[in-house]
Amino acid sequence: MTLTLPPKVTPRAFERLAEIGAGAQGKALRVAVEGGGCSGFQYDIALDEAKPDDLILEGAGERVLVDPVSLPFLAGATITFSEELIGARFVIDNPNATSSCGCGTSFSI
């Protein structure tokens, strides 16, 4: 896999980070890909501090972090925040995923 486009973060995702005060706490949203889940890979989304080798995406005074191992899996992906009847969550629209499970956190390439 080669990285062609970095992931994008929507204004709504940055707004939500500002609403929860992530930056004020010295934290950023980390989006990572790990092995596991029902489809082979799964997203790990958490508030974290930046590491020296992270890709840092910035907007609205907030930051989203992607580690170099996860970066190829997230090439061209869009990270947003969604509010639905069943709940609110950060969502990743990943063009590299060939299939995903119903929970939206597990995918295969």
**Nearest residue to 75 via CA among 97, 96, 98, 105:** 96
Q: How many domains does the chain have?
A: 1
CATH number at residue 25: 2.60.300.12
Output the six-digit token pair for 50.
Answer: 């930046």
Is 1 contained in some domain? no
* Residue span of the structural domain in which 47 resides: 8-108
- The pLDDT of residue 15 is above 60: yes
Whether residue 63 is predicted with pLDDT greater than 90 in this model: the reply is yes
Stated pTM of the model? 0.83
**What tokens were used for 95?**
């063009």
3-state secondary structure of 9: strand
> Could you tell me which of 81, 57, 83 has the C-alpha nearest to residue 70?
57
Q: What is the mean pLDDT of residues 14-28?
A: 91
Residue 71 is given by DSSP the state: G
Of 38, 46, 52, nearest in space to 105 by CA: 38
